[in-house]
Amino acid sequence: MKKILITGGTGYIGSHTVVELQQKGYEVIIIDNLSNSSESVVDSIAQITGIKPTFKKIDLTDSKATAAFFEKYKQIDGVIHFAAFKAVGESVENPLKYYHNNLFSLINLLDCMKKNQINNIVFSSSCTVYGEPDSLPVTEKASIKKALSPYGNTKQICEEIITDTTKTSSLQSILLRYFNPIGAHSSALIGELPLGIPNNLIPYITQTAIGKRSILNVYGNDYPTPDGTCLRDYLHVVDLAKAHVIAIDRLLENKNKSALEVFNLGTGNGFSVLEVIKTFEKVSGVKLNYKIVERRAGDVSQIFSDCELANKELGWKAKLGLDEMLSSSWKWENYINKTTK
Ligand code: UD1
């Protein structure tokens, strides 16, 4: 049984990936510092798959603890690295927190992988590296623009660190650039658990619908888009998780075409904020209280993916549509609301 280390495995995308890996027969070890997640996610994963993954509470910025972990768990076949801070606004207010955490975590991880001859890494990157794109849909060949936030900059720098390390070692790497992952597992046992007031659209919508927030602010309706609100390429987190299994399989089976590969992961469709709201109202049967407010600083007006490469090379295509994404988010919100009352 191949052993995969998932950093950030109790987080949103990490936990869904653990489930998919276990269901494909992989043995999974999770490390997470629980800064934005809870250990109870490990039990929820076990409830879904019937297998409890090994869990170690480790902060990857702690180089001694990280080295000690690798000393103990030498036989790891590959790593999927999710562990990172991801709130765009917070990164603008506290850039050092983001540079310190996101960069040192990766550096310590790569150091330990090198020392222990672990040569396969899949990295959780983002379409944020493209900034405001020159043309749509965005392919992997699009230029990398100056990042709009320290968070975005950490994704760009991490990609560069992995690229440079891959060139000078036996590391084999796949960078996955996600568009906007939303939704939750069909069991509603795992999903996105934002701490405090959510920054992202979907948790804000579901929390407004359930009555935790009074009103949803729609940031701007004067963008050059059909209805004036921003367009994004939303994709179901379960589709995204499955892409990670394919990527790690590809590395372990030496099917990669070069030591470093980059893939966009999205659906290729752009939906506006108002279209998302309408679809949510349709699938939930709840009328949403919202108002149009000023634009949010740093938002790009529209971005959606060209996923031909992932389709051709990985044989991956997002299967679930916006209705399924939003109905699963709504089911998850109802579950959290019931269990935390
Ligand atoms: C951002 C990052 C992305 C990161 C993700 C997770 C950029 C360009 N993108 O995505 O890399 O992975 O956050 O943190 O940095 N909106 C509202 N009202 C709200 C919230 C959002 O109208 O209360 C709108 C936004 O203006 C945007 C859309 O909804 O047009 C999606 O926003 P959000 O869910 O925050 O994701 P991004 O900003 O696209």
Residue 54 to residue 92: CA distance in whole angstroms = 35
Residue 27 to residue 77: CA distance in whole angstroms = 10
**Ligand 1 centroid to residue 180 C-alpha, Å:** 8
pLDDT tens readout for residues 227-257:
999 999 999 999 999 999 999 999 999 999 9
CATH superfamily of 3-184+234-267+304-319: NAD(P)-binding Rossmann-like Domain (3.40.50.720)
The pTM of this model reads 0.97
pLDDT tens readout for residues 93-103:
999 999 999 99
188 lines ligand 1 (CB under 6 A): no
Residue 188 clears pLDDT 60, i.e. is over it: yes
Residue 330 clears pLDDT 70, i.e. is over it: yes
128 lines ligand 1 (CB under 6 A): yes
pLDDT band at 110 (very low <50, low <70, confident <90, very high): very high
325 lines ligand 1 (CB under 6 A): no
Nearest atom in ligand 1 to the alpha carbon of residue 131 is 8
**Contact (CB, 8 A) for 328 and 184:** yes
Residue 303 to residue 179: CA distance in whole angstroms = 8
**Ligand 1 centroid to residue 55 C-alpha, Å:** 30
Residue 208 to residue 231: CA distance in whole angstroms = 21
**Ligand 1 centroid to residue 106 C-alpha, Å:** 24
Predicted pLDDT at 222: 98
Nearest residue (by CA) to ligand 1, atom 29, is: 201
Instruction: Please name which of 63, 164, 46, 161 lies closest in space to residue 108, comparing C-alpha atoms.
Output: 63
pLDDT tens readout for residues 26-54:
999 999 999 999 999 999 999 999 999 99
Residue 235 to residue 232: CA distance in whole angstroms = 10
Residue owning tokens 């109905």? 327
Neighbours of 6 (CB within 10 A): 30
Predicted pLDDT at 19: 98
How, if at all, do strands 78-81 and 180-182 pair?
A: unpaired
**Ligand 1 centroid to residue 72 C-alpha, Å:** 39
**Contact (CB, 8 A) for 176 and 125:** yes
Residue among 197, 240, 299, 302 whose CB has most ligand 1 atoms within 8 A, to mutate: 299
pLDDT band at 341 (very low <50, low <70, confident <90, very high): low
300 lines ligand 1 (CB under 6 A): yes
Instruction: Please name which of 161, 135, 129, 188 lies closest in space to residue 335, comparing C-alpha atoms.
Output: 188
Residue 196 clears pLDDT 90, i.e. is over it: no
Nearest residue (by CA) to ligand 1, atom 8, is: 128
**Contact (CB, 8 A) for 340 and 212:** no
pLDDT tens readout for residues 127-163:
999 988 999 999 999 999 899 899 999 999 999 999 9
Burial (0-12, 13-18, 19+ Cβ within 10 Å), 34: middle
